[in-house]
Amino acid sequence: MLSNQSQEQPPYHIPVMVNEVMDLLITHPNGIYLDGTVGLGGHAAHILNALSDSARLLGLDRDEKALEICNKRLSNSGAFSCHHTSYDTFPNILKQEGLTTVNGFLLDLGLSSFQLDSPILGFSFKQSGNLDMRFNPTEGKTAAQLIRYTSESDLADIFYTYGEERLSRRIAKSVKNMAVMESIADLKEAVRRSTPPKHRHKSLARIFQALRIAVNDELGRLQNFLEVFIDYLAPNGRIVILSYHSLEDRMVKHAFKNLAKKNMLSIVTKKPLPPTQKEQTINSRSRSAKLRAAERI
């Protein structure tokens, strides 16, 4: 996800690979669609434009502030409803809405600039503030609490597995040796003390990514979703997933392949689609995006 923010207007969401998403996702203009990571509503606005008045779009997100902005932006559409919850709980939302299937699922597993630039959430080492990193600040442990209650070896595993950081053990030791670990500045100092200057910027990005994934159980939630979505996807319905991390992409790839072997799913994208060179130039945060799509048989 990508958004630009100005002082005069609320943050505006520029969705990644919007043309590809629209071409692959919409098969029934009168159907029911679910955007599991609706955020500020970038993709959702385009989806609504492609749907008829009798169609429906459900938007889910864990970020309440982003959802608030999205709801204001799209509230004029009677086809749209938003829900403050994680996408892996979508069966509960469908039940509440009296629905059993949808014609399309969309997940964009990236972060928006709105989220990255927030000093409250603490996702970026370029900001200042507390080490929170929760999409939903009302549930779960903060990053500071996770660090406090996690052993040095387990913390090193988090840095290595979720961040692919080679200096994971050295950094974990430095983090646990800090007298105080409550702020973004504290974590940056721990990384500074344990990494060479040349590649420190990349190490910081990996460590912050790893902690965010762990705090929000992002891979666990994705796995939960991948295990059940097929039961709610109507015949000829599509699923489109944008991932930005090799572990996420691998999980999506394997889930699609396993369902294809069972003749339940037809893979539409034989290889993941990257953003065009033009889009990568305009939106630098889209560069790592990989899009996979499949259709229910």
User: Which of 19-33, 65-79, 179-193 has the least mean pLDDT?
Assistant: 65-79
Query: Measuring CA to CA, which residue among 91, 34, 42 is closest to residue 60?
Result: 34
Chain segment 78-107, per-residue pLDDT in tens: 899 999 999 999 999 999 999 999 999 999
Around Cβ 234, how many Cβ atoms within 10 Å?
Answer: 16
Q: Token pair of 251, please?
A: 């999980």
CB 67 within 8 A of CB 137: no
Domains and CATH numbers, the chain: 2-112+219-296 (3.40.50.150), 136-215 (1.10.150.170)
Q: Residue 92: what pLDDT?
A: 98
| pTM of the model as a whole | 0.92
Which residue shows structure tokens 């892996």? 88
Chain segment 198-234, per-residue pLDDT in tens: 999 999 999 999 999 999 999 999 999 999 999 999 9
> ∠ at Cα 220 (212, 140), nearest 5°?
55
The better pLDDT of the pair 120, 178 is held by 178
User: Which of 71-80, 118-127, 275-284 has the least mean pLDDT?
Assistant: 118-127
Strand duo 2-4 + 12-14: pairing: antiparallel
Please return the burial class of 214, using the count of CB atoms within 10 Å of its CB with bins 0-12, 13-18 and 19+.
Answer: buried
Which residue shows structure tokens 């500071």? 144
At 8, is the pLDDT very low, low, confident or very high (cuts 50, 70, 90)? very low
Chain segment 224-241, per-residue pLDDT in tens: 999 999 999 999 999 999
Dihedral in degrees, nearest 10, Cα atoms 205, 222, 250, 158:
40
At 117, is the pLDDT very low, low, confident or very high (cuts 50, 70, 90)? confident
Is the confidence at residue 247, as pLDDT, over 80? yes
At 253, is the pLDDT very low, low, confident or very high (cuts 50, 70, 90)? very high
Rounded percentage of the chain residues whose pLDDT exceeds 90: 83
CB 137 within 8 A of CB 144: no
Q: If you average pLDDT over residues 119-133, what whole number do you get?
A: 88
Rounded percentage of the chain residues whose pLDDT exceeds 70: 95
Dihedral in degrees, nearest 10, Cα atoms 159, 162, 163, 168:
20
Please return the burial class of 246, using the count of CB atoms within 10 Å of its CB with bins 0-12, 13-18 and 19+.
Answer: exposed
Q: Residue 12: what pLDDT?
A: 56
Report the distance separating Cα 110 and Cα 42, nearest Å. Answer: 13
Q: Where are the beta strands (DSSP E) in 226-271?
A: 233-243, 265-267
Q: If you average pLDDT over residues 31-54, what whole number do you get?
A: 96
Q: Using CA of residue 32, residue 272, residue 206, residue 279, what is the dihedral sign? A: negative
Mean of per-residue pLDDT scores for the chain: 93
